[in-house]
Amino acid sequence: MLQAIQDLLRPPPGMEFDFSQPAGEPALAPVDGVTWRVFANPVSLFVGGVTAVLLELAEPSVRSGVWDHSSFQRDPGLRLRRTGFAAMMTVYGPRSAAEQLIARVVRLHGHVRGSTPDGLTYHANDPRLLDWVQATAVFGFTEAYHCYAQPLSAHEKDAAFIESAASARLYGATGLPHAWAEWETLLAATALEGSAILADFLEIMRTAAILPTPLRPLQRLLVRAAVDITPEPVRSLPQLQGHGLRFGEAALVRTLARSAALLPLGKLPPAQAARRLNSRGQV
C-alpha cells in the first residue's frame, strides 16, 4: 500500500532523471533544510499538493489559467506526476538541471494568458499570480508534513519559505513570503471564492486512477486529509464543506505518513540526491 504511494515520487515515463549526478553539485534547496525532509514523505506530499491546488483554484485568475490551459482534466494522474517531478527537481536536482527545467516552464507559461469568466485578464507569468502559486505550494506541503508526518517548530515553518525563495525567484515569484506570518498576511489579503471547478477538482481527485484500484479508498482518505488542513476562508466554501476527515481518520493518516517515512528510499530522488552530495562529503 505505502509502496504504491511512494511510487508517486518517481519521475513519470519519459522524464527519467538520475539525481545522483553530477557528483557534488548542490541543489537549489539546502541539503540540511526542512524542505528536504518534507518532500521525502510521499503521504504528506500527496496531501499537501491537493491542499495547494485547492487554494490555487480559489483564486479566480489562477483558477482560469490552471483549468483552461493544462491537461489536468484529461489526464490528472500524468499531470500530477509531471508537477511532482518539477517539485522534486527544484528541491533535490542539481542546480544546473533545476534551472534549465524552470526556464522551460517559464517559457511555456509565457503563452498562457486569457480572461476569467468575469472578464479579468490574466497572464501565467504575472508575479502576483506566481507569488500565490508558490506560496500555496510551500504552505500545503509544509502544513501536511506538520499535521500528519512530524510536527515542525515555528522556526522550521519559516525556514520552509526561506528555503523555497531561490526556486521561486527563478519562476518569477518576486514576493514569496519569507515567514509563516507573512503567508498568513498574504492569505488574508487575497480575494478567494468558491466555484464549480473546486467541486470538479475534488471529484477528479477522489476517482481518478492515481493509485491502483484497490487503494482508491486510501486515495479518497488522503483527499479528505487535504481538505481538512485547507485554511479559512477556503475550507468553509460550499464546495468543500463536509469533505474533510471523519472521526478518527486523522490518526490513520498520521500513521500512514509516519510509516511512509520508514520506507527505504532506494533509487528515489531524495536518496539519489543524498548520494550525489555525499560523494563530495557534503552530507
The string of pLDDT tens digits covering residues 248-262 is 999 999 999 999 888
Helix (DSSP H) and strand (DSSP E) numbers for the chain: 14, 2
Mean pLDDT estimate for the chain: 92
Beta bridge partners of 115: 121
How far, in whole angstroms, is CA 198 from its chain's centroid? 17
| Pairing between β-strand 113-115 and β-strand 121-123 as defined by DSSP bridges | antiparallel
Give residue 84's pLDDT.
85
- Interior angle at CA 66, CA 62 and CA 72, nearest 5: 155
Which of 153, 223, 169, 188 is CA-nearest to residue 5?
223
Look up the pTM and report it.
0.94
Question: Under a CB-based contact definition with an 8 Å cutoff, are residues 278 and 258 in contact?
Answer: no
Provide the 10 A C-beta neighbour count for residue 283: 12
- % of the chain surpassing 90 pLDDT: 79
Least confident of 14-18, 34-38, 118-122: 14-18
Question: Under a CB-based contact definition with an 8 Å cutoff, are residues 131 and 139 in contact?
Answer: no
Mean pLDDT score, 19-23 = 94
Question: Under a CB-based contact definition with an 8 Å cutoff, are residues 38 and 44 in contact?
Answer: yes
To which residue does cell 509544509 refer? 142
Helix %, strand %, coil % of the chain (to 5):
60, 0, 35
Give residue 106's pLDDT.
95
Q: What DSSP line would sit under 82-149, residue for residue?
A: HHHHHHHHHHHS-HHHHHHHHHHHHHHHTT-EEE-TTS-EEETT-HHHHHHHHHHHHHHHHHHIIIII
User: How far is it, in rounded angstroms, from Cα 47 to Cα 229?
Assistant: 9
Residue 1 — very low, low, confident or very high, per pLDDT cuts 50/70/90?
Answer: low
283 pLDDT higher than 50: no
Give residue 75's pLDDT.
78
